[in-house]
Structure 1
């Protein structure tokens, strides 16, 4: 039961990240719109230089056997002076099973702090937060997976995937949260997209993208060359994905702090297998 809860929590967090990284399609390439492709290439270059940002996301999924699911939340991210992320999932509902109270997680360096009411109840924990040191061995595979997903939440890599599109085109100018943007739309092959990533990121991304087929992406890019919105719509064998993500706060200071020490407990021994 405990493992199921941890897995469900990780799955909820993974869905948000997979939605960001998961833009793929097996559609055959068609004529390239060079202007749009060049814009996306420049966007990928600019986002690689971003050191902090915030993402608000809503992900809806449907599966023939597992039913419907929804994940809604936000992530604060910084890469310098050290990798840190603050994840809040207000809604985590998978196949009719929800995580009461949602999910909160804070990553700082090699330590992740997780706050999940259902998990604490199962553990009989008296502290609202659980700390896991990622430099130690022996913690659960689910925690390892969770860390991997957070580390993949890299805007530079996301836009590298989009540059693999062979049919991207501009479809007009629109305002997104008060910013004037140009709207681009397209698809791209999974394998070509994965090959845009660093070698050590490709296999994990390939496994995630393999779950989707015929995915269409739309991205809204502002005058500074940075994306403000990304939507994904995909399907495979009756399963569907509908995701919307809003980006903001580029290079602005983010306040990512560990929870107070008196509210933190360690993951009990014997719960990691």
Structure 2
């Protein structure tokens, strides 16, 4: 496989993992405190309650539509399990090229499938394998690091983000995918989120994950986020939207949840169809 093809596939993988990061990081939005008043919950209390339910999810099916800084438009449909971590996503990044790719994460490895067109340039192999730890040792930041970041990303890890907003409010009732929901919205700066995390970060592991989530937004060149959350009648997050503008471009991503807590079964691609990118990089070093 030529160096240019390798670079192209790694670029595609990076776009995919940036999108996946948002899926994993933006589901739960809660707070350490609530200001619940009787049966009529405040926006903070309602969002916190939805976040608590998110923490109990073991799997979900979701759809992503929008754009991310530098990489442009992203469309994805996925099913993901958190215990154990497994994921299957089909996506496209039209501004990066016409290819439609599939991502699978299973048994600690990520596989990027780009179809038969890629196979013509990869000795008949239509899948690239990323071993997160090996990639980080050999390449530092990049596609491998993105895989690793997602593997360590639980849907409830950013549970404090939305209620870091000083202007969190209830917008009203809206129908999403045929389901009646209540929409909440708010804005918050990443500086404020970082300060809240440092002041009230909880245990060390939770604090570390939250700091990582904030840094990933900062790496996109963002300083401020506008968030919208749609909560259904069972207090589940039905839809979430994150928007922001920075020196690297605009973020505008909507994640819609279609199902919860259903069995997820993901299989690794056939070995004879897989090219191990870690081994390829060792060859380049040689």
Assess same fold via TM > 0.5: yes
- Please state which structure has a larger fraction of its residues in helix: 2
Q: Is 2:155 the counterpart of 1:145? A: no
Partner of 1:240: 250
- 1:73-121 CA distances to partner (integer Å, 9 max, x unpaired)? 12211012x21111211x2134xx41x4322111113122221246555
Q: Are 2:89 and 1:83 equivalent residues in the alignment?
A: no
Aligned length: 256
**Is 2:50 the counterpart of 1:43?**
yes
Distance 1:231 1:42 in 2: 18
CA offset at residue 3 of structure 1?
4.7
Root-mean-square deviation (Å): 3.1
Match of 2:229 among 219, 226, 248: 219
Question: For structure 1, which segment, 106-115 or 44-53, has the greater mean C-alpha deviation from structure 2 after superposition?
Answer: 106-115
* CA gap 1:45/1:107 in 2 versus in 1, 3 angstroms: same
Instruction: Tell me, yes or no, if structure 1 residue 188 matches structure 2 residue 188.
Output: yes
Tell me the CA shift for residue 18 of structure 1: 4.6
Structure 2 CA distance for partners of 1:131 and 1:208, relative to 1, 3 Å? closer
Q: State the partner residue of 2:15.
A: 12
Going from structure 1 to structure 2, the CA distance change for 1:52 and 1:238 (only over 3 Å counts) comes to closer
Residue pair 2:181, 2:233 contacting (<8 A) in 1 also: yes
- State which drifts further: 136-145 or 158-167: 136-145
Aligned to 2:215, which of 187, 198, 207? 207
| TM-score (ref. length: structure 1) | 0.79
For 2:143 and 2:228, the matched residues in 1 are separated by 32
Change in 2 beyond 3 A, CA 1:173/1:152: farther
Shift of 1:244: 1.4
CA contact (8 A) 1:2 1:271 kept: no
Give structure 1 stretches of 5+ with no counterpart.
24-31
Secondary structure in 2 matching 1:160: coil
SS class of match (1:150): helix
2:126 counterpart of 1:128:
yes
